[in-house]
Amino acid sequence: MRTSPPKERADAARNRAVVLEAAAALFREHGVDAVSMDAIAAAAGVGKGTLFRRFGDKAGLAVALLDEQERTLQEAILFGPAPLGPGKPGDDPTPRERLHAFVAAYLDYLLAHLPLVHMSETASPGARYRIAAYRFWHRHVSLLLSDRDDPQADAHTLLAALAAEHVQAATGDLGETRVRRAALTLANALML
Amino acid sequence: MRTSPPKERADAARNRAVVLEAAAALFREHGVDAVSMDAIAAAAGVGKGTLFRRFGDKAGLAVALLDEQERTLQEAILFGPAPLGPGKPGDDPTPRERLHAFVAAYLDYLLAHLPLVHMSETASPGARYRIAAYRFWHRHVSLLLSDRDDPQADAHTLLAALAAEHVQAATGDLGETRVRRAALTLANALML
DNA sequence: GGACGTTACCGGACCACGGTCCGCTTCCAC
DNA sequence: GTGGAAGCGGACCGTGGTCCGGTAACGTCC
């Protein structure tokens, strides 16, 4: 919620909002993959340079669009009720319960925004592992797996099965239900 | 080894060979990512159209370059000695042993050719899951997991952890040793 | 063996896209 | 009002990928 230090100029803030709205509308209308950055810039009445300076690249734009929902999920994990969050003193969920809840909630989020998340993860090579969100999920899962020999490595393993690319392909092959079950199976298998 | 049915024209065969050689040389020299399709075409003394018609896209070119080594591994799996292959009657390896051997052998192959495999999997969205090789690995792993509730889904899970993109990022974060261990851990965890 | 029609194949001009660059404009603090 | 910096926009670049008029290889028929 910090707004003070860098101080954003008025026209900049206005443009950011206009761009995000235009992008959201175009994505809804034509599908994420069919919309070019040129088109977004044109629809927003803004130069292409502006667009790239503010969002870095196409993945950055996707991240910005997902930001709100992503933060909601992250806050539920950090401060929300059990089993997804830590809960209030007294109803402490087990790590297994929390991991299950995380996988289920993350898949809800992912499947609801698959094309956008996919774009945020694949627009540039290695994008997925650079964005802040990945580090957040990884940290959270690592903590829940802290009884294992190498929690960080196992957390990467779990998250590999939640990659947009993988979930998209597996869903096409097996359907959503089996993919969800498989992810929960994995979570189980990794809890000793 | 079939050569008869489609009958490839002489110049076509010569061009294919020239292109593959040129590509291999350029990749060795400058690294896979730094070499454009234009450069390959020019180095091979061939038009760009030729290149794309024969290999489809950049991923196809990578697949062609990997073809030999990939086939070696596949044949070892199908017909080779235990524990990677089925072995001769009498020394039947358990599925667990075979799965371990597969993961180890696949990681050898993958890490030896990471940039090329990465290109073959990410050049176009969803490429990884379309190429024949993926279906082969998936089928093999499914068979080894046939005691599980949903072998196909679990096979996808295992292969997600062997995706070039994931292994590349995880290796950068944790180092090769821990990534290898994590993959074997996963194989273990999925064997009931 | 040589001319011929068919057809697979070739090559490079062409396109759309993501991304960069830099001279000009606009905003803001003083 | 003014100086300077943050921001703007669109021309520009290199890339992966497509298209199509031309070319050369091959089977065939004399």
Looking at residue A5, its pLDDT comes to 53
Measured CA to CA, the distance from residue A4 to residue A25 in angstroms comes to: 30
**Sequence-separated (6 or more) residues with CB below 8 Å from residue A7:** none
* Rounded Cα distance, A96 and B93, in Å: 33
Whether the pLDDT of residue B4 is over 90: the answer is no
Nucleotide nearest to B52 (CA to C1'): D17
- Digit-coded pLDDT (tens) for B28-38: 999 999 999 99
Q: For the residues B77-103, what does the mean pLDDT come to?
A: 94
What's the first-to-final CA gap in chain B, in angstroms?
A: 39
Looking at residues B101-111, what average pLDDT do you find? 98
Mean pLDDT of chain A: 94
For residue B124, which nucleotide's C1' is closest to its Cα?
Answer: D16
As a whole-number percent, the residues of chain A with pLDDT over 70 amount to: 97
Average pLDDT over residues B158-183: 98
Please state the rounded mean pLDDT for residues B82-105. Answer: 94
Asked if residue A6 keeps its beta carbon closer than 7 A to nucleic acid strand C, the reply is: no
Beta strands in A14-105 (DSSP E): none
Cα–chain-centroid distance for residue A107? 10
pLDDT tens for A167-178 read 999 999 999 999
pLDDT at A4 over 50: no
Strand runs (DSSP E) across chain B, as ranges? none
Q: How far apart are CA B120 and CA B19, in angstroms?
A: 17
Asked if residues A123 and A58 have their Cβ atoms less than 8 Å apart, the reply is yes
In this structure, which amino acid lies at residue A101? A
B165 at A interface, C-beta within 8 A: yes
- Residues 51-110 of B with CB within 7 A of strand C: 52-54
- Residue B182 CB burial class (10 angstroms; 0-12, 13-18, ≥19): buried
A128/B169 CB distance under 8 A: yes
Neighbours of A25 (CB within 10 A): 14
**Pick among A116, A119, A141, A185 to test the B interface (most B CBs inside 10 A):** A185
How far apart are the CA of B123 and the nearest CA of chain A, in angstroms?
10
Asked if residue A159 has pLDDT above 80, the reply is yes
Summary mean pLDDT of chain B: 94
Q: Is B87 left (phi over 0), alpha (psi -120 to 50) or beta?
A: left
pLDDT of B144 above 70: yes
Q: How far is B1 from chain A (nearest CA, A)?
A: 30
Give the Cα separation of A171 and A165 in Å (integer).
10
Return d(Cα B181, Cα B185) in angstroms, integer: 6
Flag if B125 and A165 touch (Cβ within 8 Å): yes
Asked if the Cβ of residue B135 lies within 7 A of any atom of strand C, the reply is no
Q: Provide the pLDDT for residue A163.
A: 98
A41-82 tens-digit pLDDT? 999 999 999 999 999 999 999 999 999 999 999 999 999 999
How many other CB atoms are found less than 10 A from the CB of residue B55?
21
| Amino acid letter, residue A177 | T
Is the peptide bond between A83 and the residue preceding it cis, with omega within 30 degrees of 0? Answer: yes
CB–CB contact A150 B182 (8 Å): yes
3-state class (DSSP) for residue B2? coil
- Show the tokens assigned to A95: 């790590």
Residue A11: CB less than 7 A from any atom in strand C: yes
Q: Is this structure's pTM higher than 0.85?
A: yes
Decide if pLDDT at B176 tops 50: yes
pLDDT at B97 over 80: yes
Say how far B36 CA is from C1 C1', in Å. 46
Diameter over CA atoms, chain A: 55
Distance CA A173, CA B113 (A): 27
Which tokens hold the place of B98? 């075979």
Say whether B185 sits in a helix, a strand or coil: helix
Task: Report the distance from CA of residue B171 to the C1' of nucleotide C13 in Å, as an integer.
Answer: 43
What is the Cα B188 distance to its own chain's centre? 22
Helices A48-55 and A37-44 meet at what angle, rounded to 10? Answer: 110
Nearest CA in chain B to A180: B153
Higher-confidence residue of A7 and A78: namely A78
Q: Report which residue is nearest nucleotide D20 when distances run from CA to C1'.
A: B49
Instruction: Provide the 10 A C-beta neighbour count for residue A124.
Output: 13
Residue B153 identity: A
Mean pLDDT check: name the lowest of A9-18, B69-78, B144-153: A9-18
Token pair listed for A9? 């100029």
Q: What is the pLDDT of residue B40?
A: 97
Cα separation of B58 and B38, whole Å?
Answer: 11
CB B78 within 8 A of CB B143: no
Cβ contact A163–B168 (<8 Å): no
Provide the positions of strand D that have an atom within 7 A of a protein CB: 6-12, 14-20, 24-27
State pLDDT tens for residues A87-128: 888 889 999 999 999 999 999 999 999 999 999 999 999 999
Which residue places its CA closest to the C1' of nucleotide C27? A9
Kindly state the average pLDDT of the residues B12-26: 94
| Among candidates A149, A150, A160 on the partner chain, residue whose Cβ is nearest the Cβ of B161 | A160
